[in-house]
Every structure is written in C-alpha cells, then in structure tokens.
Chain A
C-alpha cells in the first residue's frame, strides 16, 4: 500500500521567513496530493492540493511542487505569519475510492 513520509517533524521560523515541508510517497499510482493544516483539537483544513498532471501550483503565499519521477512533493509558505503556526499534513491518494494516506505531520511554529 501507499506510504507517505514527511519531513521535518518540527519547524520553527521567524515571521516573514519562508517554510518548506517535504513529503515522499511510495505508490506511483497516487495521483492526488493535498496539504492540510490542523490546529489543536480541530479538523484538518485543506490549504492546497495538486494533481499528478501538474508540476506546481500556487495560491497567494502557499505553493506546492510535485516531482512525479522522484515521487516527492513539497509545501512552500512564504512571508510566514504567526497565524500560520499549526500542524501541517501531506497526503496522497489514488484511484476512485479516495483512499488517502497521511504523512506524520510537521509542527510549524512562526515566531513573531
């Protein structure tokens, strides 16, 4: 089955700096790669996603890149703000059943 690995587990940056979180996946059949932000005790919120037919996608301060050959994808947050502090999860899924597997998560702390 699919295995998603995520690094780093914790990341601390200064406000205004950029943050990068990286994930790898094992199943070449995976075709959908979302990123979720989860605040303590709350549900995961989709912040950006990318499909296997696209190499890069950007939404304001957030961007995701996908390298299908290497089977890795990354989340980039620019001009970080304290409210970006949360746990971020990458995920990968494939097929028609939306069977989604999550990375271990990255706890991002943005220091003011």
Chain B
C-alpha cells in the first residue's frame, strides 16, 4: 500500500518560535495532501488542503498566516506553525491520496507538538 511519512514525530518548542513539519509520500506522487489537527480525545479536524504548485486551501477559522503550507513537489508538503503558542500544542497529521483517486487517504504517523 501507499506509504506516507511524517517528520518529526514529536517536537517541543518555546513559545514564539516556529516549527516545521514535513509530510512525504514515499512510493507515490500526491498532487493533494491534507493537514489535520487533533486535540486530545477529539476528532481529526481538517485544517487545509495542500495542492502541489499552488496555494493551499484553508478551512474556515484556520489562520493561513499562522499555519504556512508549502507543497513544493509531488511528494512533499510542509506545515510551518509560526510564532507558536501553548494553545497550538496538538497532534498534527497529514494525509495524501493516490493519483488514481480511489478516495482512500493514507495518513502520516502524526507529529505531536508541545509548545512551552
């Protein structure tokens, strides 16, 4: 099956710093990747849709200037949390779909961000 890798798996940073999370499709090209945020004991909330070569589409209520998404290639999308604050602490997960578009999404391992 398709493999999506996410890095880092966990990160601790100081308030006010920026953190970059990478999402890679290892054995397929992903024209579209998705970024989710999951708070403890809650569901996956779609933050944005990342399209290769174009600007990301953000969900309502998600600050695009705070959560910078770059999809520079067909196998890599990055999420940068800028000027992180403790309330940004969460589990961030990316997903990607294969080009044949079966509908199935393949998830990365997730990145746990803790902002002190």
Chain A contacts to B: CB under 8 angstroms: 31-32, 34, 41-44, 46, 49, 51, 89, 93, 96-105, 107
Contact = CB atoms under 8 A, between A and B. Distances in A.
30 contacts: A31-B103, A32-B103, A34-B103, A34-B104, A34-B105, A41-B91, A41-B110, A42-B109, A43-B93, A43-B107, A43-B108, A44-B44, A46-B105, A49-B104, A51-B103, A93-B103, A97-B32, A98-B32, A98-B34, A98-B97, A98-B101, A99-B49, A100-B34, A100-B95, A100-B105, A101-B46, A102-B43, A103-B43, A104-B42, A104-B43
Contacts of A43: 93, 107-110
Q: Which of under 10, 10 to 19, 20 to 34, or 35 or more describes the interface residues of B?
A: 20 to 34
A7 to B, nearest CB: 13
B43 A89 contact: yes
- DSSP majority for the B interface? strand
B109 A105 contact: no
B49 to A, nearest CB: 7
A52 B108 CA distance: 26
Nearest to B51: A97
Interface string B20-53: 0000000000001010000001111110010000
A46 B101 CA distance: 16
